[in-house]
A and B are shown apart, each in its own frame.
Chain A
Amino acid sequence: DQQVKQNSPSLSVQEGRISILNCDYTNSMFDYFLWYKKYPAEGPTFLISISSIKDKNEDGRFTVFLNKSAKHLSLHIVPSQPGDSAVYFCAAKESGYALNFGKGTSLLVTP
Chain B
Amino acid sequence: GAGVSQSPSNKVTEKGKDVELRCDPISGHTALYWYRQSLGQGLEFLIYFQGNSAPDKSGLPSDRFSAERTGGSVSTLTIQRTQQEDSAVYLCASSFTGTGEQYFGPGTRLTVT
A residues bordering B, Cβ < 8 Å?
Answer: 2, 4, 6, 34, 36, 41-46, 49, 89, 91, 95-104
Contacts and interface: CB of A to CB of B under 8 A. Distances in A.
Contacts of B98: 96-97
Contact of B48 (A89, A95, A97): A97
B93 interface: yes
Contact of B102 (A42, A46, A102, A104): A46
Contacts of B107: 43
B73 to A, nearest CB: 18
26 contacts: A6-B42, A41-B106, A42-B106, A43-B91, A43-B105, A43-B106, A43-B107, A44-B43, A44-B104, A46-B102, A46-B103, A49-B101, A89-B42, A91-B43, A96-B98, A97-B48, A97-B98, A97-B99, A98-B56, A99-B33, A99-B102, A100-B45, A101-B43, A103-B40, A103-B41, A103-B42
B4 interface: yes
Q: Chain A binding site: helix, strand, loop or mixed by DSSP?
A: loop
Interface residues of B, number: 25
Interface of B: 4, 31, 33, 35, 40-45, 48, 56, 59, 91, 93, 95, 98-99, 101-107
B104 A97 contact: no
A36 B45 CA distance: 15
Given A98-B33, A98-B45, A45 B99 contact: no
